[in-house]
Each structure stands twice: as structure tokens, then as C-alpha cells.
Structure 1
Amino acid sequence: MQSNKLRMAIRATAAAAVLGVAGQAGAVSFTAGDYDMAVYGYARLNASYDIDSDQALSTRSGSYAGLAGNDDAAEGHFGADAFQSRIGVKATSPEGVMVNVEGDFRGSGGGSLRLRHAYGSYMGILAGQTWSNFTSFVGNTSTLDFDSLPGNAGLQSRSTQLRYTTGPLSFSLEQPSSSFVNDDPLVTIPEKDSLPALTARLEDSAGGLAYSAAVLAHQVGYDTGDEDESSFGFGTFLSAKMSVTDMITIQGNVSYSDGANSYLYRSGDNFGAASAYVDPASGDVETISGYGATIGTGINLGGGRSINIGYGMVEVDWDDAEDDLGAAVVADESETNSAVMANYKWSPVKNVMMGVEYQFLSRENVDGTDGDASRILFASQYNF
């Protein structure tokens, strides 16, 4: 029974993620002509109180920007918004072709409609924009923070892609993501993407264990017209979730990247750190490595109540860049980001969720400057 419950939960989570309806309790379903239609979404209030420096992004998520050296920052900041609210439409044809389009209101800093998902799928072939194949939610701890823990598996975002899925295996060609450290702010590095990112992922369950593993490879390069240099970067992660009892789960992720820190979640000011730099002596593209991990537990208290506690961290190795570019160039780069998030969630009635969360964020830069902040979040979500 326990194994079946876990399998059903994992399948439901995976399906929700693929369809872009994570967090939905249901949808308004109807038939239009020969098409099966579904309209879904939710309205959500997010509110935050920053006990220390103001670290709130839109959706009131915690930011790592400006966290290091925040000892003298103004304290006590409240804010609230409804930018996480979303709406989506799914249509399935009689031939089995499925199309999904979804948006929320986090665009342009908050308040503008943002495209989240826009893709079609048929017979295991998916084309369009949706969750990167180099992403898994299996090992993630449930948080109220929309951006969640550093060290979660892979990109944790959406990308334009062509994907093929067969059973537990999926492969994709995706729009690549990377950036360079620039040792001269007056000169722009002419980055060039010559190839798509290639990913492969295995996601399955066995007994009381659900697991996911993936690899990604992409090219990181630049072209000045006179010089054309590149290197290959790669990333990998392993995620797992264990059902200890019918009430308790333990889950976590481990990640490693070299030349693919855009896919090392929350390793920079907020999201990915730089993947490479140009050696000023040789002009070669030198990759930057990093790693991350999370661990957490979910406790189902019954009656629609739950407690979730998670810890996550990422660390980037800047030693070679510091030697080649100079200490001043990378001094303000984030070397270590970490967070503890603990929440209480309550569903008083179907399609309604309320919760409160405590966060402790910490950052240390390459030059040793550090800082931390405590935050309290509140959320109220109404699904349809």
C-alpha cells in the first residue's frame, strides 16, 4: 500500500510538472467540438516580512543579491503581491495531440503577463517551451518561497526544446544558457551559441523510493570575428525521495557542474552563476565548476495539515578565475549560498491552501564578505 501511494504521488507530481499545472487541485474541464479542454489556474497572495535587510523579489521570494555585507542595512520590511497567480489552457485532440499554454504575472519585475508554458506533444514527442528536461522535482522539499532552495536539481525553470520520452527515459535538445565573467566592463564578450544543449534524464520509482538522474552538455563560446574559442560544459544531478512511513518522507538532491553553472540552481546573485571566463593571456575559454545539495523532510499531519523543513546550499569554485583574472574581478561573486526553510501548510477545504514559512538565507562572497537574513512568508492560494 505504501509503495502504491508513493508511485501515485510521484506520477501525479510528474504529470503536473509536465503540464505546467503544479499546485493545481483540479481544472474546469469541458468539450469543445471534438477537443477535450481544460482551463486551470489559481489566485495567490504572497506576503513577506524581512526581519533583517530587504531581500524580497516579486512573489516575495528571497533574494541573494545584496545579502553579503548587509550588517548596516535597514531592518524590518513588509510587502505583498499576487504576481504568482496563473492561468492555463490545455486542449487534447481526438488523435491524441495535446497543446498546453500557461502564463503567470511575474513578468517585467511583477504585474505583467509572463509566458510559462507553450508546447504541444504527441506520441512521446514534445516541442515548445516547458520545464527543462534537465530538471526534476522528485527530491524537492515543498516551500512557500516560489524560487525555493538553492541546490535543487537542474535548471528548475522552463526552456524552449524538442524532447522525446520513452518510458522513464527522456532526451532533449534545448536553448542553451550560459554567461561569462568579464574582466573588462568596458568590453562586451561576444558570446555565441553554436549548438543546442543536449540533455538526458531517467526518472522512475522502485518500492518506497522515487529517483531521478540527468546529464547535460553544452558549448560555451565567443566569437570576436578574429577569435573564435569555445569549451564544452556539463552538469549532472541525482534526486531521490523516500517514503519512510505513510506520514513522513525524506528527500534531497545533489548536483555538479563544470562550465554549466547557469544550471546550478541559485548559485549566483539569485539564480545561475557564470559558467566560464576568457583567459586574458591565451584567449581560451576556461570553465568554472560548482556543486550543490539539498536535504529535507515532509510530515503529513492529517486533516490537510503538513510541516516541511529543508536545507539547501551551493558553492562555486572561483580559484582559477581569481588567479587568471585577478582577485578584484571576482571579489563580489557569490562563493556560497545557503538557506533553511521551514513551513506549516493547511488546506481548510479542497482547492484552498494557506501557509506560513520561516527562512534563513546566508551568502559568502569570494573576498570573504558575508551576510545573512531572516524572513517570514505567508501564502494563501485558491485553485480552480
Structure 2
Amino acid sequence: MFGVAGQAGAVSFTAGDYDMAVYGYARFNASYDVDSNQALSTRSGSYSGLATNSGAAEGHFGADAFQSRLGVKATSPEGVMVNIEGDFRGSGGGSFRLRHAYGSYQNILAGQTWSNFTSFVGNTSTLDFDSLPGVAGYQSRTPQVRYTSGPLSLSLEDPRYSFVTTAANDISKNGMPTLTARLEDSADALSYSAAVLAHQIAYDDGTDDDSAFGFATFVAAKMAITDMITVQGSLSYTDGANSYLYRSGENFGAASAYVDLATGSVETISGYGGSIGAGINMGGGRSVNIGYGLVTVDWDDAEADGVAVQDQSETNSAVMANYKWTPVKNVMMGVEYQFLSRENVSGVDGDASRLLFAAQYNF
């Protein structure tokens, strides 16, 4: 299901004994940055440099179609399903990027797809492709092997972490896979998800080596208050796993650890975040969504141990509010206002206002 998340449908047919589906969409995104230029490819908002862009040129327009997507799914008579999907956000935008490439049979999935340490249950719908900071988990795809039984899923995944300093990253090593467990289910008007993650953070320069244990957890939920109104949100905590604290640090994942120069030991860095939002279905294919997200990373121990972290992002936050309209099936248009804010460890801060427009045509 997650492999085709966001698709309104697919072109289905039979090829030999296989059930086939081809799906995707063409997507146009445009943005206007009232303040400094914070646009990434797909016109998503960026936190990079936001705290130090005071005095930068104001008023920036841009547009692209890099979010456009194409996928194919095949199911054999034996029940083996294969899904391959990509978009055009690779290499800064314009080149094909592999999103999903996995197979599944019965309870076992292997390949690249959404991290098991991810949930969309508590996410507020945004036009920004990268969405709010603080939503649940990794919010991206990674190679893995996953076992699912009902609402419970377990996985072994390719590790994701980094050290504060380049020198430590140059000698980092992955000695073990990341282990995750997630429970996701619903009851009446409530949908909910909770997950935990554990991994090893290590370095080895041939002379000195050390490792530490990192973990992360989140809870997320969505409640249908009425037929028109939903409220949703999530809470996350990480220690030594800030790559899984969404949109922390410079933009996506903050550093998870540092090497204490006095002792050579690996020391973990913690963080927390959350998001909250509401959606209003106005009927006639119209909806309004508003959400707020925030993440904070605790750099105090690293700073006390003499690590240069003054320019690291301590807090990222955003407000996103949009109006979406579906005039006919498989067509969506919308406008969105964003207010992004960042504060560095040094106390330097900055913010930016942005406007987005999107038009999406599904098949």
C-alpha cells in the first residue's frame, strides 16, 4: 500500500498470467519566496542557511515538474508482488530517481521501500513534497527485509546516521543493520501507529575504535471528529538516531553522535519533535489543511566537550496551510502558505514566508 501512496488509481491489465498495474502522475509545482530563496527541487522549503540569510535578496519565483512519478506493479499467479517506482528528483532535479524497488510474498518483503520506522497516520496533508518537521519517523525509503503479521511489522534496514565532524564520518562504519518494530492499526474513527528503532553507531580508524547504541521512537494518531473534520499529529524522541528525526539539523536529519576528542568515545546526541494539524473536507472536491511541526536537537553535551556546533540548527519549525481542489477525478490543484523558522545553537535565527502552487494529474 505504501508503495503507491498518494495514487488515485492505476492502469490495470493482464500480461500472460500476471496482473499488471501502471500508475503515476504528472505534477507541476511553483513557488514564490517572499524572503530569501529557500526552494529545493519540487519547490519544497529548505532550512539550509535560513538562520544566516539576513540581508539576502528577496522575492524569488521558480517552477518545475520534477515530482512527476511513474511506477509499475506486477503480481504473479503465486501471489508474488513486485513494485518498481521512480520520480525525477534525482541529482538536484531532472534525472530519474529510484524510489521503490521491492518484492513481497506472503509476510516477507525485501528491497527498497518506505522505512518501517515511518508512519503517515498522523501527517497533515501539505503541498510541500517534504512536508512538516516532526512528522513520524524517517519519511523516506531504505533497503530492508521486513516481516509483517497483522498490524505488527519488524524489519532489518540499512543504517542511517552521521557524526558531527567530517573526520569522524570518514572513518565511520556500519557493523550491524538497524532493527525496527512498528504497530499500526485503527479502531472506529481512530487510526494510530507506534514504533521503536535501535542501531549501532561506530567508527574505526585502524588504531582507535568505539561504538554506541542509538534508539528512536514515535507515536502518531488521526481522529475523525466528524465526517468533515479530522485532527492528527505525532510525537518523536531520538537519542543517537537523529537521521530518523524528520527535518532536524541542516534540513532533513541532524547528526546522531560525535567523537569525544579527549577519550575517543562515541557520544550520542538526542532530539525530539512533533506535529499537529487539522483537515476540513468542504465538499465538492475542496479541502483546507493546516499543520504545525517542530524539531529540537540537544547539542549541549557536544558543545561542552568542545565540538564546534555553533552553526548547527537547534530548532526547525514550520506552519503550512493550504487549499486543495479536485475539479474532476484524478486532478488536484492547490495553493499553500508556509512560514519556516530556524534557530542555531549560537542563537542566530531566521524565518521565511513562502507561497506554493501545485497541479497534479494522476493515472
TM-score, normalising length from structure 2? 0.99
Q: 2:182 & 2:169 partners in 1: Cα distance?
A: 35
Aligned residue number for residue 381 of structure 1 = 360
| Identity in percent | 79
Q: Does structure 1 conserve the Cα–Cα contact (< 8 Å) formed by 2:197 and 2:216? A: yes
Report the equivalent of 2:223.
Answer: 242
1:118 aligns with 2:97: no
Q: TM-score, normalised by structure 1?
A: 0.94
Q: Mapping of 1:1-384 within 5 angstroms?
A: 15=1, 17=2, 20-182=3-165, 189-326=170-307, 329-384=308-363
Amino acid across the alignment from 2:210: E
> Considering only aligned residues, what root-mean-square deviation do their CA atoms show, in Å?
0.9
Per-residue CA distance 1:162-191 (angstroms, 9 max, x = gap): 000000000000000000011xx5676400
- Show CA shifts across 1:209-230 (max 9, x none): 1000000000001001111200
How far the C-alpha of 1:22 sits from its partner, in A, is 1.9
Q: CA separation of 1:23/1:187 partners in 2, compared to 1, >3 Å: closer, same or farther?
A: closer
CA-CA distance at 1:325 after TM superposition: 2.2
- Alignment deviations for residues 249-293 of structure 1 (CA, whole Å, 9 cap, x no partner): 000000000000000000011100000000000000000000000
Structure 1 moving runs of 4+ over 6 Å? none
Q: How many residues align?
A: 363
* Structure 1 residue 71: Cα displacement: 2.1
- Structure 2 residue runs without a partner (length 5+): none
Distance, in Å, in 2 between the alignment partners of 1:323 and 1:206 is 47
For residues 53 and 224 of structure 2, what CA distance do their matches in structure 1 show? 40
Relative distance call for 1:361 and 1:321 in structure 2 (3 A) is same
* Structure 2: distance between partners of 1:325 and 1:217: 27
SS at match of 1:181: coil
- For structure 1, the 5+ residue unaligned runs are 1-14
For 2:227 and 2:140, how far apart are their aligned partners in 1? 30
